[in-house]
A and B are shown apart, each in its own frame.
Chain A
Amino acid sequence: MPEARTPKKPRRARGTKSAVHLLLRVNGEDREVTTAPHRTLLETLREDLGLTGTKHGCELGECGTCTVLVDGQPILSCLALSADYEGREITTVEGMADGAQLHPLQETFADLGAAQCGYCTPGFLLTAKALLEEKPSPSREEIREALAGNLCRCTGYLKIYEAVEQAAARMREEGPRGGR
């Protein structure tokens, strides 16, 4: 939190003066962005690209709410600099569905009550997606372990585990579909 003490030497505005041009690949699309060089991936996704499905939680990498996938691996977008992610495959919650067809995880989260206020849901979905791609039949313990970095203040996590388990079962039955 900024505190008002002896002011330092006036700094130049960061947001308005310098800019970088980035070519990001987000949800299978190439997106050109002109943004501040220090912008986090979270801010670029939300403020520059309008992808507000990825949420702000703590800005410090503690809650997992801002989780997105980079080349299939979950990262905390609030700790990532956008400029470092050119040429990587970035997936946000908006990229999980295949057109109108939701990803099985999105369906089970909605149907089994895993999304309560829903604010932490996108982060959980992407973490779970990465887990299921690596381990199609995870045990409850493996799910707990994988999701332990994502915090939820409403649900008590149980319905989230159940949703991941049911999605895994559905994906094993139906084979891979949806999502990227």
Chain B
Amino acid sequence: MKRVRRSQVEIEGKLRERTEVVEEDPSPPWDDRARLRVAGRPHPRLDGRAKASGAAIYTQDVGLPGMLHARILRSPHACARVLSVDASAALALDGVRAVLTQENAAAIPWYGGTTRLLERTVRYAGDEVAVVAAEDEETAEDALHLIRVRYARRRPVLDPGTAPRGGKPSVYTRGNARKAVSGAPVVVAGSYRTPAALHQAFETHGSVARWEGEHLTVWDSTQHIFGVRKELAAALGLPLHRVRVISTFMGGGFGAKNECGKYTVFAALLARRTGRPVRCLLTRAEESLAAGCRHATVQTLRLGARRDGRLLGIEHRSLCDVGAYGTDGPMPVGGPARTLYRCAAVRTEEVPVRTNTGPHTAFRAPGYVEGTFALERAMDRVAEACGLDPLEVRLRNYSPGDPRGFRYTRKGLRECYRIGAARIGWRRRARLGRRGTSLRGLGLASQVWPAGGAPPSHAVVKVNPDATAEVLIGTQDIGTGTRTVLAQIAAEELSLRARDVTVLLGDTGAGPYSLLSAGSLTTASAGPAVRAAARDARQQLEELATGLARGKGGRPGPREVCREIGDAMVIGRGARGPNPEGLKACSFGAHFAEVEVDAETGEVRIVRYVAVHEVGRVVNPLTASSQVEGGVLMGIGFALLERRIEDPATGRGIAVDLLDYKLPTALDLPPIEVLFVPGADPRATTIGAKGLGEPPIIAAPAAIANAVAHAVGADLPELPLTPDRVLEAIARGRRAP
């Protein structure tokens, strides 16, 4: 039975009040006493062979008969008025079938209505100006050079420090933070900066669109098939049932593929105009300019503490460079300051500022990675000021509940500290020092992330006559292993092996609604829905067994029931139940890094890394450990290498390829130890699991910065920790008393 309630939900670190329609899930939660055979054990990806054989079809691989190829013309100017667009020469080129410009494209509102699909004002170098569809990519590319555009250039705004406000600041207060900090015996103040960073998924954004009469099918590299369906239908004025979005395999998203892109609408419009299927894929340069970023932050932070290290007040203000169009407001950079430590007086403020740069989007733990870096850097400085060990300061400020006034379903951060400190050998910290030109340091950082999932998510389980099963669900597997994890959950409930279950996902035409795959939502949202549907199917089988037993004598087992009923198959249905009232479900973690800094070159080498997480039950330890290893390496990239760079005068992207935008390679991988705090969190979800998508990246830059600061004996106020900045810190450390 569905019912309506008011509830608070925290998605991507943003707490929102909403009216939700919920459906009770009567499944008794799998707690620590539950004897599970499949869920909770390592299982190879069920689609591993499809991927390793090259058979898996990604959006980029979709080829349809008669398909045209679209390419986008982008503004070279960061701020300009488009005076005219003349596409006649492009249209005359052999092989060009259509050109969309502001003159002939529908005025579809975009970026929350702040602009249109193709507009007269371009606001960043990379903004869309026109689109060509041609017989092949090369012809489309050639045609772009033939489009004559006249621009009236304006001076772009590029410095977030002086940029205008881009919307309402997001303010949170408890107690009087200013008074608490100012009156504290120990005050640590600092300014911390983090750069804009690019997701750089290897499959670039892209869509293939095909019309069949009134019906539109779109293959899209997306983290939210139902979200794309909704936005695309609205953009084109179509009823939902005529739009189908498919994403069977996708090559990474990391938050940049949460929404419908302009390229999707371009493909659909051009396909309608030409009567041919149209493919529109971004190049790597476009991916770097126009496909979203982690927004840059300038954070000012003041912590007030007693001499024993206990926090009295936290003031945190962040300027968030949301770029030219960011529609989702600033990311929750103050989230860690609000929730990581026990502190009665806290004020956080996230101020969006607008520059003429590419729009920002969510990027794996948006806000929390940046905010954790600043807060955990400052916590180490509190420890130093009080003459305490950094771990001890964190334990003294440990908050068993959410300090905003909620209880947690479970909080295993203390165990994370204990396990991690033992593994890395934290006690050695005081003895580490300089050996020749090599400076050693040990650092740690803590992590919190709302990861309990949420409704709505629905699933259907079909049980076949041979006692195998299919799960239908409108979620998507963005590479994390969702197919496998959901199969394990269904198999557990149906007493099958995981490989007796096929999960059909990534198709709005096949499975019922499930949430977007972002914010560590998927396992904790889709998982319980699948379990509920499988449980419904099992109960139906049990009832049928009773009926069949009357005629036969013995009570048949589930396998016999399936055979007996044959094609009159059992179909189970389930929904993700509501979250518990008044409780918050978060994932926790502590990361420990040991680094070696070369005092002559400023180079940082990570010698050892230990990542400990508490996420409730780990449904699949194999895919979970991949998730952590990859998240840590992505965090290492953000700590040491990655930043989006624009020319400060023109705003044009400089590092728009993978040579200049530095991603971690195989040679940058340190020895990483991945550990999980054992035990389920049955109050969070019926499967006892919480999310793990974002947690692995959150603490990594902070842990590394703290280790480097320990090694060099000075604060590190800006990421990435490039050699020049490290050398500068070493010089400051020498001057320090």
Task: List residues of A whose CB falls within 8 A of some B CB.
Answer: 1-5, 7-8, 10-17, 36, 38-39, 43, 46-47, 50-60, 62-63, 65, 92-94, 96-97, 102, 105-107, 109-113, 115-122, 125, 144-145, 147-161
Contact = CB atoms under 8 A, between A and B. Distances in A.
B147 A14 contact: no
Interface-centre pick from B53, B73, B74, B665 (highest chain A CB count, 10 A): B53
Given A8-B145, A92-B54, A119 B251 contact: yes
24 contacts: A4-B75, A10-B92, A10-B146, A13-B94, A14-B138, A15-B142, A36-B136, A46-B61, A47-B137, A57-B202, A58-B657, A62-B659, A109-B51, A111-B44, A111-B48, A113-B45, A115-B51, A115-B52, A118-B50, A151-B658, A154-B479, A156-B672, A157-B666, A159-B629
A143 B48 CA distance: 21
A102 B53 contact: yes
A50 B63 contact: yes
Contact of B76 (A4, A10, A51, A118): A4
Given A38-B138, A110-B51, A116 B57 contact: no
Interface residues of B, number: 88
B658 A63 contact: yes
B165 interface: no
A103 to B, nearest CB: 9
A16 B204 CA distance: 26
A46 B281 CA distance: 14
Interface string B119-135: 00000001001100011
B525 interface: no
B521 to A, nearest CB: 17
B658 A62 contact: yes
Contacts of A93: 52-54
B653 to A, nearest CB: 8
A147 B251 CA distance: 19
B658 A113 contact: no
Contacts of B200: 153
Contacts of B141: 2
B479 to A, nearest CB: 3
Contacts of A53: 53-55
B626 A15 contact: no
A145 B666 CA distance: 8
Contacts of B94: 12-13, 16-17
Contacts of A17: 94
A153 B662 CA distance: 12
A116 B93 CA distance: 42
Interface stretch (B233-241, B498-506, B526-534, B630-638): B630-638
B345 interface: no
Interface in B120-175: 126, 129-130, 134-139, 141-142, 144-149, 151
Contact of B478 (A54, A102, A117): A117
Contacts of A115: 45, 48, 51-52
B669 interface: yes
Contact of A52 (B50, B63, B623): B63
A43 B137 CA distance: 10
A119 B57 CA distance: 10
A52 B61 contact: yes
A63 to B, nearest CB: 5
A16 B139 contact: yes
Contact of B60 (A12, A55, A94): A55
Given A93-B54, A115-B51, 15 more contacts: A3-B74, A4-B74, A7-B89, A7-B145, A13-B94, A13-B138, A15-B95, A56-B281, A96-B53, A107-B49, A148-B665, A153-B630, A153-B634, A156-B672, A157-B666
A157 B669 contact: yes
Contacts of B622: 112-113
Contacts of B73: 2, 4
B667 interface: yes
A56 B48 contact: no
B497 to A, nearest CB: 15
Shortest beta-carbon contacts, A-B, top 9: A53-B54, A117-B479, A110-B48, A119-B251, A118-B51, A156-B629, A93-B54, A52-B61, A3-B76
A158 B60 contact: no
A158 B696 CA distance: 15
A110 B52 contact: yes
A151 B73 CA distance: 28
Contacts of B50: 118
A178 B47 CA distance: 21
Contact of B142 (A5, A13, A120, A154): A13
Interface string B288-322: 01000000000000000000000000000000000
A150 B663 CA distance: 11
Which of A97, A109, A152, A154 is packed against the most chain B CB atoms within 10 Å?
A154
A121 B203 CA distance: 12
Given A12-B94, A115-B48, A158 B672 contact: yes
A92 to B, nearest CB: 7
B249 A118 contact: yes
Given A12-B94, A60-B659, A156-B672, A113 B623 contact: yes
Nearest to A146: B666
A143 to B, nearest CB: 8
A36 B134 CA distance: 15
A109 B96 CA distance: 42
Contacts of A149: 665
Contacts of A3: 74, 76
Nearest to B290: A1
B574 to A, nearest CB: 27
Contacts of B478: 117
Contacts of A10: 89, 92-93, 146
A115 to B, nearest CB: 4
B641 interface: no
Nearest to A125: B52
Contact of A118 (B251, B656, B666, B672): B251
B178 interface: no
Contacts of B47: 118
A166 B482 CA distance: 25
B284 A58 contact: yes
